[in-house]
A and B are shown apart, each in its own frame.
Chain A
């Protein structure tokens, strides 16, 4: 089994602030891997470093066997796509869904655009009726479906998910999570998913890494976490917190 993403000693520095302090991980092909942590843990920075949106100070990132340099070429973006956290901010306010989905196809010079757009919309459960709407005519969940369609339209093998449901209502979250599982199964995708919510990560991922202050705390399988077989106190704290408020009186 080869690694889809292999990261070794990754450091990210923003203006002297070390957002990631030497993190290593390996995501197998076809696996769903979770990154859990609180704000400032560096979990989103790690995704951004892979895509080239965050400056890598040192360390190596290998994606599908290719070591990434300073810049990413077009081929990279056909392999790796990302879904952002805020569905209200990730769609261009002046473009219709049609335009949004056409853009990646135009950039990569893909010919059968019409068919792909219709297929992508069907796949995320939106259908043709949504094709010519603007972002402001869509609900949060529908926007996130469009964002997923946009990520899938280039047929990538790796999908990076940055808190894809944290801005959504619980019932909509369930729908989007189900959709993500479904497209993963259908396209045999590799997921690297970031969330602050342990329950979502154990639901979606086979393995996960707990992060704090830019460092890895521990790496677990979902079943270890479910069975509370964790070795670090921080993880235990997170587990306890995820069970809701407990009155101690």
Chain B
């Protein structure tokens, strides 16, 4: 592509007078992208997350060994080498392969929690904020009850009640992580609820349902996306914590938290068993945090409309 066509495409995107819905939307996305990409660390964060997704998708190709079946006879607790990049664990399984497959479980947990918790929080928060009165009081007191317990303890209680396993861990984390989202969505709703543009829609005869769904929720979504992204690291750590305590993923699933738990026994002599999944958790958490910070710059409604 020549420099001129790039230039003209940029002008098309940044046009003050878009000629179609598509151009208006793409233009807006492009402006957000420019703000996002001006932040180098955010780009690093995004690259980490893209890498995580690629590793999860291509695990079958990338992993040289099975994640669940090891070579007990010849390959127990081997240090890192050319054959086993990150060494092997106590059951003779290749740690590199387990981490590659573990990326799938990490993504699975993160995505499921996000798509369960964020919509619940968004719905509760916007409805409470817009309706006010008794609805608000009841919904927010329920939220307060959830917020009054430490997250991990509450998740522990839920898992204990539901039974251990990664699905239940996801459910427990989701149930404990929506209240902060509800608070954010409510706060955001309160600031826009009395604005003239919401009144203008009321004066067209729109139903409260329509106002919340089509006019208020879109305004809350960007701060929610930012918060959820920043929380991803916490979700991964909670999942790892549950795995570590034996309440999350069950053996032989290659979940990173559970891998650290099983490596704990040899942490002094065979450090690599716990260090490799630990580093993986660290890098991915860092990636989500950097990405979240970048999204805050790009999507923040307070700075985003000028």
Contacts and interface: CB of A to CB of B under 8 A. Distances in A.
A104 B19 CA distance: 22
A178 interface: no
Given A94-B219, A103-B214, 16 more contacts: A53-B203, A73-B205, A76-B205, A89-B196, A90-B199, A93-B197, A93-B219, A103-B201, A103-B204, A107-B204, A107-B205, A132-B24, A133-B18, A134-B24, A134-B305, A137-B16
Interface of B: 16-21, 23-24, 28, 195-197, 199-206, 210, 214-215, 218-219, 301, 305-306
15 contacts: A51-B203, A73-B205, A77-B203, A84-B200, A89-B195, A89-B196, A89-B197, A93-B305, A96-B24, A104-B205, A107-B204, A129-B17, A130-B17, A132-B21, A133-B18
Contacts of B204: 77, 81, 103-104, 107-108, 154
A57 to B, nearest CB: 19
Contacts of B206: 103, 107
A84 B24 CA distance: 26
Contact of A93 (B20, B21, B301): B301
B17 A91 contact: no
A85 B199 CA distance: 12
Contact of B20 (A85, A132, A136): A132
Contacts of A90: 196-197, 199-200
A74 interface: yes
A94 B199 contact: no
A91 B197 contact: yes
A74 B205 contact: yes
Nearest to B301: A93
B203 A81 contact: yes
Interface of A: 51, 53, 72-74, 76-78, 81-82, 84-86, 89-94, 96, 98, 103-104, 107-108, 129-130, 132-137, 147, 150, 154
B305 A53 contact: no
B24 A133 contact: yes
A53 B306 contact: no
Contacts of B19: 129, 132
Contacts of B202: 53
Contacts of A91: 197, 200
Contact of A134 (B28, B199, B200, B215): B28
B34 to A, nearest CB: 15
B78 to A, nearest CB: 56
Nearest to A88: B196
Contact of A150 (B195, B200, B219): B200
Contacts of B203: 51, 53, 77, 81-82
A132 B205 contact: no
A82 B204 CA distance: 9
A129 B23 CA distance: 13
A87 B301 CA distance: 18
Given A81-B203, A84-B199, A129-B17, A92 B215 contact: yes
B24 A147 contact: no
B18 A132 contact: yes
A136 B305 CA distance: 6
Q: When A and B form their complex, which 7 residue pairs have the shortest distance between CB atoms, in order from nearest?
A: A77-B205, A90-B196, A74-B205, A132-B24, A132-B18, A104-B204, A89-B196
B23 A132 contact: yes
B272 to A, nearest CB: 49
Contacts of A81: 203-204
A98 B24 CA distance: 10
Contacts of B200: 82, 84, 90-91, 147, 150
Contacts of A89: 195-197
A137 to B, nearest CB: 6
A92 to B, nearest CB: 4
Given A77-B204, A108-B205, A136-B306, A53 B218 contact: no
A155 to B, nearest CB: 13
Contact of A84 (B20, B23, B28, B196): B196
Contacts of B201: 92, 103
Nearest to B214: A103
Nearest to B199: A53
A70 to B, nearest CB: 15
